[in-house]
Structure 1
């Protein structure tokens, strides 16, 4: 059975963003779509009657959320399954479901407090990104253009196991969409690299060496790809500023971090800030191996 794409919804506008992204991903990958809402599990403590009434109310609320999702997916071309999950938190419930189904990807929306057209990872996304066994995709609030409209897949690339895992995942998606892949690497400004005491000449020499190293790594990565056309771009400035402002990719893939448990997302400094600010959907990929 093809691994499913799981979309977590909560009845808010961010859930609608997640459904748009998840439906597109499932259709492109030829995967079933599982729409899940997590409700509180019964507590072991407290008044049995009150607790039972409260849990029943949460069941009804979860069913209403799924009814809303069904209404939004009436024209979906992929297989869709709807599930309610009892758990101690939304993130925990989605983690457990992803492990049970061996999910392809978990998709969530931005936090409700996030500004429109900017991705602001809410608490569910934050917790999901701390240890997921599969890629986690976060949809920005109020996407101006739906995924698939721009025809390019982006990768925040560095020549590390995380960067190569992100590239592999991006190429797999690009092969299904027919889209080209663009690799992005960011070189810091001269003022941000070395203390001024080393001198301007040393700064420029360092930056030139760094750029040359990045160019070689990007060239090797592009040549290694089969199944999709690849080009690359080096930008200058703050890495999060540069990547967050990208507005010409359907999705941007990035690695989680350079260390930590293999095959689990473990959010690093760049990806943690990027998912809060990106204009386009971001997919954080656990490193393999």
Structure 2
């Protein structure tokens, strides 16, 4: 993660998280707002006036972002594109961004994630990790001293662990790995009898323990621990409030080095209390 961090405006949560991420990684921060580009055909006077109005609105948003960041070093860009997601994606490729940070949707409950269309489109094909921040980010990132990872021993899980470990080492935060184990009938619904179900859960837990111990040992530069938590995967991870940020992998198939949401991560980003970073596969 050596390229600049892009924070999409508006959104105080995204700006705050972007500033923190850029600061701890010692990389530049680019604050970007995307406005409509002129139509390729039949732009006409009305369309030109509308585009000019949208450009003026984008500049106003950047002015508001400067106030939120209170003089923190940042480059401010107004980008013309056919969509906000497309504009941020193109900018990320242009500058070799290490992270794109976007805010939750405008209708999100306070301090809960509920990504708008920009976030969802970015998450379906970005070449770099995408962070989604709640509209109101409290407590501030870095104040809890824990970087979380939703971990399973898959290429996606290991990619998320690697990115989280780099950030934890950089900040001196504790790295905490979470594996959620389903309980009751959710674990193995086709098994009949409590004894069989209990045996399955015990075997699964032993497997997860070995996997987590090995994963924690693989990042010696970090102070790492791990937890196995019973419950529904999405509900349990979404309710975590003890981490500065939670890393998770994208789904287990699709183009390498691109984020392609799976069932867990897609639901998680809509409901998590704390910022979530979805990491593309390494290859």
TM-score (norm 1): 0.95
Select the residue among 69, 87, 91 that pairs with 2:65.
69
Q: Indicate the SS of the match to 1:85.
A: strand
Q: Distance in 2 between matches of 1:221 and 1:204?
A: 26
1:32 maps onto 2:25 in alignment? no
Q: Match of 1:282?
A: 276
Q: Match of 2:3?
A: 3
Change (3 A) 1:82 1:193: same
Select the residue among 87, 102, 112 that pairs with 1:108.
102
Assess if the C-alpha contact under 8 Å between 1:153 and 1:181 holds in 2: yes
Q: Match of 1:147?
A: 141
Assess if the C-alpha contact under 8 Å between 2:177 and 2:226 holds in 1: yes
Q: Distance in 2 between matches of 1:227 and 1:191?
A: 39
Change (3 A) 1:47 1:98: closer
1:257 maps onto 2:213 in alignment? no
Q: Match of 1:128?
A: 122
Q: Which moved more, 1:220-229 or 1:189-198?
A: 189-198
Aligned residue runs from structure 1 range 1-289, under 5 A:
2-10=2-10, 15-76=11-72, 79-195=73-189, 198-289=192-283
Q: Distance in 2 between matches of 1:21 and 1:197?
A: 45
Q: Indicate the SS of the match to 1:6.
A: strand
Q: Distance in 2 between matches of 1:228 and 1:141?
A: 30
Q: Distance in 2 between matches of 1:9 and 1:151?
A: 26
TM-score (norm 2): 0.97
Q: Which runs of 5+ in 2 are unaligned?
A: none
Assess if the C-alpha contact under 8 Å between 2:251 and 2:260 holds in 1: yes
Q: Indicate the SS of the match to 1:56.
A: helix
Residue 55 (structure 1) shift: 0.9
Assess if the C-alpha contact under 8 Å between 2:159 and 2:280 holds in 1: yes
Residue 138 (structure 1) shift: 0.4
Q: How many residues are treated as equivalent by the alignment?
A: 283
Q: Distance in 1 between matches of 2:137 and 2:70?
A: 20
Q: Which moved more, 1:140-149 or 1:258-267?
A: 140-149
* Displacement over 4 Å in runs of 4+: none
Residue 46 (structure 1) shift: 3.3
Assess if the C-alpha contact under 8 Å between 1:190 and 1:207 holds in 2: no
Q: Distance in 1 between matches of 2:191 and 2:276?
A: 38
Q: Distance in 2 between matches of 1:197 and 1:75?
A: 60
Q: Any idea what the Cα deviations from partners look like across 1:85-104, whole Å, max 9, x if unmatched?
A: 11111001001100111101
Q: Distance in 2 between matches of 1:3 and 1:46?
A: 38
Q: Any idea what the Cα deviations from partners look like across 1:215-271, whole Å, max 9, x if unmatched?
A: 000000011112111000000010000000000000000001111111000000000
Residue 59 (structure 1) shift: 1.0
Cα RMSD (Å): 1.3
Q: Which runs of 5+ in 1 are unaligned?
A: none
Q: Distance in 1 between matches of 2:260 and 2:248?
A: 12
Assess if the C-alpha contact under 8 Å between 1:2 and 1:32 holds in 2: no
Q: Any idea what the Cα deviations from partners look like across 1:164-183, whole Å, max 9, x if unmatched?
A: 00000001001111001000
